[in-house]
Structure 1
Amino acid sequence: MIATPMTRLLQKEVKFEWTERCQQSFEKLKALLIEAPILVQPESGKEFVIYSDASLNGLDCVLMQEGKVIAYASTHDLVLAAILFSLKIWRHHLYGKRCRIFTDHKSLKYLMTQKELNLRQGRWIELIKDYELVIVYHLGKADVVTDALSRKSLFVLRAMNTRVTLSDDGSILVELKARPMFLQEIFEAQKDDSDLQTKRINSGGCLMFRDRVCVSRNDELVRKILHKVHSGCLSIHPGSTKMFNDLKKWYWWLKKDISKFVSRCLICQQVKAEHQVPSGLLQPIMVPEWKWDRVTMDFVMGLLLTPSKKDVVWLVVERLTKSAHFIPVRIDYSLDKLADLYVSKIVRLHGVPLSIISDRDRDSHPDFGKSCKRPWAQS
């Protein structure tokens, strides 16, 4: 990228040093910003230049003359074929149902409104019209599941954290051994851990506890294992619970380390979908039409004991005028006792309110209303 020399200076633990490359990058950005990015008309007699690219997603090309763009062109048949593939194999689920398809190919959003389509694309569009679907653009780096399915490949031993060693003991054949580097590092850390010297269990060269590898409190080694399991080439950034369930089969581990590591993963914070149900809109409380029609109440607890053996203040506020009553009570008062106090202190002076708003205290319990009605029922 053009701005890479400058943006690299913004990284942590990087000394801010303005070099010649930074100055060239700055000047080039200024020149690009003042040039209008428009398409030009082709001129006869001048040489045409074509830049082309191909990937498993499609074909892309740019037609230029003297560094000026004349036209862009691209095709996305392979991505569209993946959509048709999913619709065919899950037709019994999707036919007649509303469906959203996420793809990292942004131009597919406008597929249904394109004016020019080749024969194959037109034929596929007719099949897509049988379904009630919406194509939604999705960032490619966020689509970790389908990437894991579509980009399976063989990995070199270095990517698998494995070292190959050759041992020649004089025989004709040379023995080839592949030993996981993680186990070797864990074994070395165990030898240096004084707390494990007296508890060593010799099982394949590593200390094992309940058939799991016991990892020393080596911060660098712990961080490396967590990174490979969470962000490695074969992982899909699992959550803390999924990651813990995977790790506990092999390592004797603490869950809080995994939860802390997952919560600090930058990629997870940026692209993972939010599974929590969105909270509803705040609803305003209706303004009362008359005094003491609607009241709010709460308890102020944790106070010192008074000479009259009271340690809680019961606060009753009228919502229209904000006038309030402060009633001293005790924390062990029953609902019946509170109801009697409410009738004698509030209802006697202001009448019965239309509504009472409170949090989840004892006065918000349904039995509180029944207890308040008891004096009238007895009379």
Structure 2
Amino acid sequence: MDFSRIATPLTKLTRKEVKYDWGPTQVQAFEELKKRLTEAPILALPDGNKDMVVYSDASYLGLGCVLMQRGKVIAYASRQLKTHETNYPTHDLELAAVVFALIIWRHYLYGVKCTIYTDHKSLKYFFEQKDLNMRQRRWLELLKDYDCEILSHPGKANVVADALSRKTEHSAIQVKSYSLVITPYFLNELKDAQKEGLKEENVGFERIFGQVKSLEENECGVKIRFGRMWVPRNGDIRSRILDEAHKSRYSIHPGATKMYQDLRKNYWWPGMKFNVMQYVNKCLTCAQVKAEHQKPYGYVQPLEVPKWKWEHITMDFITKLPLTAKRHDAIWVIVDRLTKSAHFLPIRETYTSEKLSELFVKEIITRHGVPVSIVSDRDT
């Protein structure tokens, strides 16, 4: 109930009859809420659906409850009393706290055997009472939907306070920091590979005929181009760099674009973007784990069935046919996707786009109107 009590100066400002006055009391409540939210007690995840226990309590300030499982806190909940609830007797207030817990944690407690502890003894016999008012009858119907047992515990047995004081359930986690460092050993290997690649008999293999003159030497003696180290094709340096940029704990399997942008800051070689894309496409881990975000493509994907004739059509060309008397050597096939009715228009392969457009207007649009969509196999 701490949060509802702390937020009281703020929630009062939301009432219609209260004048909006933001003062030191509201500022203090706002800052205290921020502090409590950033220092929240550690919650545990439910382990199965057994041993669920709810501790509820009520006062004339608000309702509060805690959901626990085997001594671990699963969730907290609290709220202030509504205006009409301030007139409830103590019995109904305590019952309201139980109902509040069952409603807000229905996804945890529905269909699960659970125990509810309250410090009001008379609630133990609530299911046996005969004289109930309308509000209590509604709550009784709700309680019967759950497999719960209401028990009492003394107010001094403050399990909630004990749960709040429990700082941690686990030992401290060790976190290691990883970084990519270019060692002198690697630079020596790179320089040796560059010397080998610049030999006259290897320049063609390295595909750097036009870039040899643009290679410069930095202070470490490494050949660079536009400030980036040239990685030759000979040896295994390229594959080691690709492995480090993709599979190491520092990189964690980035996509082709991200990996290329990271590598191009320090390295260069001809066809680097294609090599990166090829490498990522062959990564078995990425293929097994990463989800496909682009839309399905290819002819195997069925098209939606049209709702009206000649709104959606398909077309194709049959070419390389024998010449007719009118010098036609091709047929333009236009099919309605709904009725499957078709037009076979004799044409010549040499027809331009303008000529085909005129024929389409004359033979199709004048008869069936303008189609909504046209599907083709991208013929030109």
Say yes or no: TM over 0.5: no
Between Structure 1 and Structure 2, whose CA radius of gyration is higher? 2
What TM-score range do you get, normalising by the shorter chain? Answer: 0.3 to 0.5
